[in-house]
Structure 1
Amino acid sequence: MKKILFPTDFSETAHNAFIYALKLAKSINAEIFVLNTYEMPVISTTSAGQPELIQSVYNSIELNNFENFKKEVPNLRAIAEKNDCNDLQLTFIFEEGIMLSILQKIITDEQIDFIVMGTNGNNSLEKKLLGSNTLHVMENIDIPILSVPKKAQFKRLTNVGYATMLRESDKNGLKQLIKITKNLNADLKVLHVMRKESDSTMDLLDSWKTEFNDEHVSFHTVLNEKIEDSVFFFIDDQLIDLMCIVKRHLNFFEKLFSSSLSKQLSYHADVPVLVLKEKVHT
């Protein structure tokens, strides 16, 4: 059985992503680990001069967060029942600490297959996940991350898109997706955007077509300096249900939710984005 980790802040965006995660889990026979975290503020003992008062404040914060968690769990179970997913195995986890560190520990301990999270570009969950101090932790998360926009609704995946710069390290992601799309009986459409015409690039593209010759895999090339426009047109023109990209090293994951192609992908209408680990060849 597959295992999905779903971090939530109980927002409207997260609830919509939860419905997506539920229906996805049901379609692939998976269980879901629902995670809610909170962080304690740093309070200086010198400012108050009363350590017992500070401890009282901490206890109050912990209690308030736990009470909210207890209140929200039945709501999530009700959402599951409403969507005919009450037979799914749901595990609820409540933790204090840095969210990404907790994510990493759960991924290891429970052998999580991938993460599903909601995104609308400005919620507190993303701020927790993508703060500048947490980027190095996210870089060490090797499992796929499915980003679900606020308007996304789960449906049968018919057309899966994959954007590539035709790097050797992108082939691993393509191989993963070919297996996934075959199991789903979906078509995989590979996009490469060229900023300028190049014979060497066309030769490289031909070699990819030969290597990944499959009736369910098609290659699409666009000549355009504005990569973003090309990708959006591709999504609409090819009726893409799920867009896939490879996580670059260092700053790539940060760029996923900053002013970049990947951010705009994540917030493009109702199309979820699957972020794959980039395989390193040594």
Structure 2
Amino acid sequence: MKKILVPVDFSATAENAADYATELALGIGARVELVNVFQMPEFSPAAASLVWPHEEYKLLEEDAKKALNKLVGKVEQKFKKAHHELDFKAEVFGRLLHGEIDQEVGKYFAECKMNLIVAGLNRADRLMKAFMGNITRKIIELKMPVLFIPSCCRFNTPKKIAFATDLTSSDISVLCTLAELAKPFNAEILIMHSDDANGPEISHQQIADFLQLVADKVNYRNIYLRQVKSEQVKDGLDWIVENGQIDILTMVHRKHGFLHHLLKGSYTVDMSDHIQLPLLVLPPAHCVPV
């Protein structure tokens, strides 16, 4: 069975991501694991005289365990009410880990052979955006499939999934993975290529060659390509998000690629305001089903 990992901090945004993940799990036949990473409070060397009482630490840890169990119960109850007519028991589990969120999530994902991370994106104020952006970058840099859910998003059965690509042949394996996600919902996959006025022009032959690879290698026929003319790739993405009637936007995070440059700028920091639909980020040449 496929497994979805949801990092939670007991916020409304995390709970919404857990709800989304559970609904998605029903569609693709997966189990959901809610993970809270409990961090020991850190003090600077200048405050070395401050000692964190062991009893206080244990109390905080117990509170985290209780909150995690409560969230698991809430997700199960919501799922049960929403799907009472189905003979299906939601497989939802809770795990408490200790350490840094990106390290522990990455380690747990690999050791437990998870298929997908579903993480909430919060609408942060200006003071918090740098922090939220840093967490987002760290999770993306894990080079694992991550589906980010903005706090405004509720689960809708995916009907159209957009895949932003520069028509690199290695993206064919990513499309095969995406097809496995789309199949249970019979969703369309929109291959979206956006020109950059400052970059090399893509020829008709390059487009034809890529589409031929798709036809030969991807076992899914509900796929089509749309080319968007724009001054910058970012503008093309904005246009497809606003006008493409899509349910999920998919991008590949490759070194020196478009998403890499976005992460170095302010786009990801402002993502909670900018992206109002789920964003699926996949590592290059990803070929494991999500």
Deviation at 1:211, TM superposition (A): 2.1
Pairing of 1:117-156 with structure 2 (within 5 A): 117-120=119-122, 122=124, 127=131, 130=134, 135=138, 139=141, 141-156=142-157
Give the match for residue 209 of structure 1: 211
**Match for residue 278 of structure 2 among 264, 267, 272:** 272
Unpaired runs of 5+ residues, structure 1, are: none
Q: Size of the alignment, in residue pairs?
A: 272
Deviation at 1:55, TM superposition (A): 4.9
Matched-pair contact (CA < 8 Å) for 1:152–1:269: no
Matching residue's letter, 2:211: K
Cα distance between partner residues in 1 of 2:132 and 2:274: 22
Deviations 1:36-72 (A, max 9, x none): 11222333688565xxx7252x541342243143035
Q: In terms of mean alpha carbon deviation, does 193-202 or 66-75 score higher? A: 193-202
Matched-pair contact (CA < 8 Å) for 1:266–1:272: no
Matched-pair contact (CA < 8 Å) for 2:120–2:150: yes
Unpaired runs of 5+ residues, structure 2, are: none
Say whether 1:34 aligns with 2:41.
Answer: no
Deviation at 1:183, TM superposition (A): 3.8
Say whether 1:81 aligns with 2:112.
Answer: no
Give the match for residue 226 of structure 2: 220
SS at match of 1:249: coil
CA RMSD of aligned residues (A): 3.3
Matching residue's letter, 1:11: S
TM-score between the two structures when normalised by the length of structure 1: 0.82
TM-score between the two structures when normalised by the length of structure 2: 0.79
Give the match for residue 255 of structure 2: 249
Give the match for residue 193 of structure 1: 194
Matching residue's letter, 1:209: L
**Match for residue 232 of structure 1 among 235, 238, 249:** 238
Deviation at 1:98, TM superposition (A): 1.1
Task: Name the CA shift for 1:103/1:91 in 2 (closer, same or farther; >3 Å).
Answer: same
Cα distance between partner residues in 2 of 1:199 and 1:67: 56
Deviation at 1:88, TM superposition (A): 1.4
Say whether 1:60 aligns with 2:56.
Answer: yes
SS at match of 1:153: coil
Give the match for residue 182 of structure 1: 183
Matched-pair contact (CA < 8 Å) for 2:15–2:71: no
SS at match of 2:158: coil
Give the match for residue 266 of structure 2: 259
Deviations 1:200-230 (A, max 9, x none): 5332112112222364111111111133332
Matching residue's letter, 2:209: S
Cα distance between partner residues in 1 of 2:270 and 2:170: 23
Matched-pair contact (CA < 8 Å) for 2:133–2:269: no
Matched-pair contact (CA < 8 Å) for 1:242–1:272: yes
Task: Name the CA shift for 1:179/1:44 in 2 (closer, same or farther; >3 Å).
Answer: closer
Matched-pair contact (CA < 8 Å) for 1:99–1:128: no
Give the match for residue 95 of structure 1: 97
Cα distance between partner residues in 1 of 2:45 and 2:266: 40
Matched-pair contact (CA < 8 Å) for 1:232–1:265: no
